[in-house]
Structure 1
Amino acid sequence: MKNIISILALTLLFLAGCESFLEEENKSNVTAEEFYVTEEGYSALINANYSALREIYGDFAWLFCAGTDMYSEGRDSEPVGLSRYSNLNSSSEGVDHLYKTCFTAVQRANTAIYYASLTEPTADLDQRVAEMKALRAHAYFLLVQTYGGVPLITDLIADAIVTFDRSSAEDIYTQIVTDLTEALPVVSAGAFDGRVNQKTVQFLLAKVLLTRGYESFAGATDFADAAAYADAVIGGQALDIPFNDLWLPTNEMNAETIFSVQFDQGSTSAVQGELGNRQQNFFGSYTGGTEVAGKAPYKSYNLCPNNFALSLFEQGDERWEGTFMTTVYDRYFDYFDVEDKSTLDVAHFYAPAWYTAADKLAFTTANPDATYHDYGTYDPEGADISGNWATIIVKKFDDPKAQFGANGDKGRTSNRDVVIARLADAYLVAAEAYLQAGDATTGLAKLNVVRARANVANATAGEFDIDYILDERGRELLGEYHRWFDLKRTGKLVERAAAHHMWIEASNFVGNGGEMKVLRPIPQSALDLNQNKDFAQNPAYN
């Protein structure tokens, strides 16, 4: 028997998945067989599955964003293997993050599915099992994109197993699609409330089939099916929320959110700084220690938007102001907290590419004490990164209610939700899927819906190709934990990272035997624990 005081059960005490429904009491000295067969215990087990998402998305963002075409390190170094590829190996810092957290999620999902046949029947039991299948599919989707084939485990592991086989990526995708298609008709058809619903599953199916469509083992209709599922998510819904409003700290559960990882102060306060998320910490320069005095939030000086990322925006694109903190007031969070900003002192201003000499003169005359950052001087390549406030800051994820300070192990201070699927992304997935299915006209129309909300001109048929889609995804989704997967999926990782990342050359990707490092290595810790010595490492790292 497994005592409830296990990693799984401890999670029930400290973590929760959604403010509205994940408040559970931990039961010590009770076995799983006794606890999970009760309605209360099974509910706690479901909640533990949602809380696993917090560990996947709540910590460092290297596997999602580092080593791509849009983000470069500022003053503080990133894990060199993941950021530059030149020294990437199975023991590199950070390569095991998704391996550990996603297999934890898989084990929790398998446990919930197993106990569903043993626990007290409830009206929503089948729906909960379907949610668990979707969460298992989500975890395996992250795993297969990152590492390729991995162990395929769909049963509860109650005792230690020290030998695992490696399934093929094709088999992993087959299981993912099976889980999602089985879940789709059973999960809630209602609005997103923190739990997996039908739009969540449809979005995952669209993304999974789109991704598999590029593989050698793709299904003949993968791109067309991905487009159809993306259309089902869209369901005629317009992008009618202004881009800036999408990211207001009080508007996280807006009508365009398809799925997000839920955080709230009540469920993370038990261990301050360890149970929230780090998303607001990235994507900007250090703020000089003023966070200690309550004037500015901690920023890590990592994953700073580079010159290429900034160059994607044109005059009039509402995503420029909606994404970046272009005007920094003396107290940073006054941007959110003060309605009338006319009397506030401006500390920093980051001029866009289209500002003229006359624009600069007008601003500096009106704000003589502000530091004016000319365009081209506040990206990691153009800035003097030895100083503070040297690179522009992404404001989309700022949390005015979080602690001002905290770094290192105490840096998970934000309680804002991490949005991992939203309506504009569904439009862009549809655009890409239609393009690859041979219907560029419909794909272009989907992409232009996104551009229309941003107040920029339609893309033309002559411009519309996979590179244009990646540029548009860069503008729309900057900082949203998709970029490495986007480049890897489309086969553009080497080309675009080498072209736009200041520390990457194409030769950095060349691994053992000339194999390219377009998968991450299987972590050495997993290989060491596995007594199956025929378990193969990915070719570039052999």
Structure 2
Amino acid sequence: MKNIGIKALMGTVLTLLFLTSCSDILDEEPRSIYEPGFFETETGIYGGITSMYAHLRYIYGQAYYYNTCLTGTDEVTYAQSADQNFKVMDISGQGEITSTSSRANVLWEVAFSNINTASGVIENATELGISDALIAEARFFRAFDYFMLVQTFGGVPLDLGAGELAFNDNPSRSSERNTVPEVYARAIFPDLLTAINDLPDAGRVTGGATKTLARLYLAKAYLTYGWWLQNPNNIPTYPETDRTDPDGHDPQWYFQQAYDIAMEAINNPGPFGLEETFYDVSWAPNDRNDEVLLYADHTETSEFYNGGSLTYGSGSAPDNFAGWMMTWNYTVINSSASATEWDAVSSVQREAEQHLGRPWTRMCPTIGAITNTFADKTSDSRYDGTFTTVYRGNWDKAGISGSLYNANFMEVNPGDAILTFLDEEPEETIDYPDDAGNSNMGAGVLPGRPDFVISPEGISRIAYPGLWKLGPYRTDNGDGLGQPNAGSTRPFNIAKFSELYFIAAEAAIKGASGTRSARDLINVIRARAGVWRWDNNGNEEKTEDHSADMVNATPATIDINYILAERSREYYGEGYRWYDLVRTQKWEELARTYRIGGSNYGDHTPQTVTRNIEPYHYLRPIPQGQLDAMEGDTGNYQNPGYD
């Protein structure tokens, strides 16, 4: 395979990182040449291991891959400014997913070079006296990448040109795909089992791989493979193979293993655990908290260590720019300088602040996500801790002084609500304009309110609640607007301790037995969701405990659809959803139709859109670049349906 040979190993693909053994952070040093013998040195081993953390930046926070994980699900559709990168993923008549249009190519192109690096480390490290714990980090990342690949594309090659799971030091233009069971049985499971045995409880460095992290991925891999073996809706796989396990286990064995491993991690968490409130998990000043097991890191202290400019985002990896995609163009919002006639002033300026950030308007939530998934916005804090629903005036930070006048020509000051996406449909009728109106973005007016409003049924592809979770955060804004055009300098969260409860609960629904039921496990998450310490969109302290209400509202018997709804409430917009729907084979059932308003300001009439989700869509196409790089007959290499 040409694009997974040594040339692509990392010298020109990733910024090399070198780890100093006495440091608790990853020290990065660029290197323009990376030849195979480098892995025969201690410096090369440390450099290779550290680069595995760097490779995460090229996948997580990369907006086009992020789009493939969400657009087309019940959570997300394309927004007004979307190009074909986003529209085709919606599968709603705006284009077809093909080997050239699918941006899952991002994962393919990055993962294999890292797998080869991991193999180089694993093969050479022992002879150099490198500890098993350090080698286990490479094993974790090799399994991690293979697990992401097999979920996305089906069976993938274990031989990159030098033998199965062997380090390849010469470009190869031939490739054969292994089957799904072979990838799990020969690569993912063995590497993760070794990683669990050899990794420490606490990370060697800040954000480093741990036993808890490896247990999370092993439990999730067991769960996913159990579903694959069971295949309840007869979804095809490729390369074609029987749904039998080479080790002779049935799906139930894997569901039980998923439960047991997840419970082992919950009961032996090391330094990890749940944050006290859901808000605290995504609150930017609390980044890198004890609930986050793995992240693609960034920083505002250094462009070099950040992996990108601190002043202007390139719109490409390794920038963390995924958060721009569901940020609509709130900067069009106008208020008035006059109390008697409309004298437009931009009252919500672009700012490097978690509620705001750089708007691209490429992706938007479906109405169903707002009204159904997050139906409870009173007891459950997760809606408030996920979305930006109130846009507040910040014109003073742009040098505009004094008060302004807003809806109903009522006076507003910096920090006041200028536009509110209402939690529920109001009893009174909203007076919407026929076009953009005074607000300049089609928002309506309610009597006695100084803020413009849009109800849940009125959101559209052009105006919708933003994704607060991924919003930017800087400590160097001073009294101004900061650097809102830069990529986010926050880490992109990849794995969380909370998912262990979901994995164990899902396994229990699939028949696994143990000391805690699916309902018990989900109620740990739901109880936490009922605890408020801050009203995010109200911008004020809110000390309320609705945990008992949340627990009592949980059905006595929960099914997989309930688990999936809870997963969406917990992880909305973080890139989990497509994988969740594909694993459980619920994609077509839950996301076949959705509702959303149109693409013009003032359009508040929901439309019902139907998607054409076919069984072959449950695998993404092999990228055309891979096929073009191969010699010989590639006719059987592509996943069926994408020929």
TM-score over 0.5 (shorter chain): yes
Question: 356, 364, 369: which one pairs with 1:304?
Answer: 364
Output the CA distance in 2 between the equivalents of 1:23 and 1:464. Answer: 47
Counterpart residue number, 1:539: 640
Give 1:63 deviation, angstroms. 2.1
Counterpart residue number, 1:486: 580
Letter in 2 for 1:83: D
Output the CA distance in 1 between the equivalents of 2:147 and 2:320. Answer: 21
Counterpart residue number, 1:397: 470
For each residue in 1:439-482, what CA deviation from the matched residue of structure 2 results, as whole angstroms up to 9, or x when unmatched? 59701111111111112523544551111111111111101110
Output the CA distance in 1 between the equivalents of 2:352 and 2:149. Answer: 39
Asked if the contact 1:325–1:393 (Cα under 8 Å) also holds between the matched residues in 2, the reply is yes
Bigger fraction of residues in strand: 2
Counterpart residue number, 2:422: 351
Counterpart residue number, 2:385: 322
Residue 432 (structure 1) aligned with residue 525 (structure 2):
no
Counterpart residue number, 2:11: 9
Secondary structure of the 2:580 match is: helix
Counterpart residue number, 2:306: 268
Asked if the contact 1:291–1:297 (Cα under 8 Å) also holds between the matched residues in 2, the reply is no
In structure 2, relative to structure 1, the CA distance for the partners of 1:342 and 1:373 (3 Å cut) is: same
For each residue in 1:53-106, what CA deviation from the matched residue of structure 2 results, as whole angstroms up to 9, or x when unmatched? 111112121221121111011212252332217512222141312111211221
Output the CA distance in 1 between the equivalents of 2:352 and 2:16. Answer: 27
Deviates further, 526-535 or 138-147: 526-535
Counterpart residue number, 1:286: 329
Report matched runs for 1:509-528 at 5 Å. Answer: 509-510=613-614, 516-528=616-628
Question: 514, 519, 526: which one pairs with 1:444?
Answer: 519
Letter in 2 for 1:172: V
Long gaps (5+) in structure 2? 160-164, 230-243, 333-347, 398-411, 432-444, 531-548, 597-607
Output the CA distance in 2 between the equivalents of 1:161 and 1:262. Answer: 32
For each residue in 1:144-203, what CA deviation from the matched residue of structure 2 results, as whole angstroms up to 9, or x when unmatched? 111101111311111110111110011111120111011111011125831110000000
Give 1:288 deviation, angstroms. 3.1
Asked if the contact 2:75–2:365 (Cα under 8 Å) also holds between the matched residues in 1, the reply is yes
In structure 2, relative to structure 1, the CA distance for the partners of 1:331 and 1:280 (3 Å cut) is: farther
Give 1:17 deviation, angstroms. 9.8
For each residue in 1:96-122, what CA deviation from the matched residue of structure 2 results, as whole angstroms up to 9, or x when unmatched? 121112112212212222331454x34
Secondary structure of the 2:420 match is: strand
Output the CA distance in 2 between the equivalents of 1:30 and 1:84. Answer: 41
Letter in 1 for 2:256: A
Residue 158 (structure 1) aligned with residue 169 (structure 2):
yes
Asked if the contact 1:292–1:404 (Cα under 8 Å) also holds between the matched residues in 2, the reply is no
Report matched runs for 1:78-89 at 5 Å. Answer: 78=83, 79=85, 80-84=87-91, 87-89=96-98
Counterpart residue number, 2:112: 103
Output the CA distance in 2 between the equivalents of 1:396 and 1:332. Answer: 23
Asked if the contact 1:188–1:197 (Cα under 8 Å) also holds between the matched residues in 2, the reply is yes
Structure with the greater alpha carbon radius of gyration: 2
Give 1:230 deviation, angstroms. 1.3
Deviates further, 151-160 or 35-44: 35-44
Counterpart residue number, 1:337: none
For each residue in 1:376-435, what CA deviation from the matched residue of structure 2 results, as whole angstroms up to 9, or x when unmatched? 11244xxxx2xxxx11111011112297444xxxx7x01211112112221111111111
Asked if the contact 1:210–1:226 (Cα under 8 Å) also holds between the matched residues in 2, the reply is yes
Deviates further, 237-246 or 480-489: 237-246
Letter in 2 for 1:317: D
Long gaps (5+) in structure 1? 335-340
Output the CA distance in 2 between the equivalents of 1:281 and 1:144. Answer: 28
Report matched runs for 1:108-147 at 5 Å. Answer: 108-117=117-126, 119=128, 121-122=129-130, 125-147=131-153
Q: Percent identity?
A: 26
Secondary structure of the 1:149 match is: coil
Counterpart residue number, 2:561: 467
Question: 255, 264, 269: which one pairs with 1:223?
Answer: 255
Asked if the contact 1:194–1:259 (Cα under 8 Å) also holds between the matched residues in 2, the reply is yes
Output the CA distance in 1 between the equivalents of 2:28 and 2:221. Answer: 33
Asked if the contact 1:17–1:54 (Cα under 8 Å) also holds between the matched residues in 2, the reply is no
Output the CA distance in 1 between the equivalents of 2:489 and 2:6. Answer: 27
Counterpart residue number, 1:500: 594
In structure 2, relative to structure 1, the CA distance for the partners of 1:58 and 1:115 (3 Å cut) is: farther
Output the CA distance in 2 between the equivalents of 1:15 and 1:40. Answer: 11
Give 1:205 deviation, angstroms. 0.6
Output the CA distance in 1 between the equivalents of 2:640 and 2:51. Answer: 35
Asked if the contact 1:239–1:449 (Cα under 8 Å) also holds between the matched residues in 2, the reply is no
- Length, aligned pairs only: 509
For each residue in 1:20-77, what CA deviation from the matched residue of structure 2 results, as whole angstroms up to 9, or x when unmatched? 52223335668552x4444333222211111111111121212211211110112122
Letter in 2 for 1:474: S
Asked if the contact 1:291–1:298 (Cα under 8 Å) also holds between the matched residues in 2, the reply is no
Output the CA distance in 1 between the equivalents of 2:137 and 2:189. Answer: 14
Output the CA distance in 2 between the equivalents of 1:359 and 1:148. Answer: 49
Output the CA distance in 1 between the equivalents of 2:199 and 2:396. Answer: 39
Q: TM-score, normalised by structure 2?
A: 0.72
Secondary structure of the 1:517 match is: helix
In structure 2, relative to structure 1, the CA distance for the partners of 1:532 and 1:509 (3 Å cut) is: farther
In structure 2, relative to structure 1, the CA distance for the partners of 1:463 and 1:372 (3 Å cut) is: farther
In structure 2, relative to structure 1, the CA distance for the partners of 1:422 and 1:359 (3 Å cut) is: farther
Give 1:127 deviation, angstroms. 1.4
Output the CA distance in 2 between the equivalents of 1:377 and 1:444. Answer: 35
Give 1:356 deviation, angstroms. 4.9
Residue 73 (structure 1) aligned with residue 111 (structure 2):
no
Output the CA distance in 1 between the equivalents of 2:554 and 2:7. Answer: 59
Report matched runs for 1:2-41 at 5 Å. Answer: 8-10=10-12, 13=15, 20-27=24-31, 31-33=35-37, 35-41=38-44
Output the CA distance in 2 between the equivalents of 1:170 and 1:5. Answer: 29
Q: TM-score, normalised by structure 1?
A: 0.85
Letter in 1 for 2:368: F
Counterpart residue number, 2:196: 184
Backbone CA RMSD of aligned residues: 3.3
Bigger fraction of residues in helix: 1
In structure 2, relative to structure 1, the CA distance for the partners of 1:293 and 1:232 (3 Å cut) is: closer
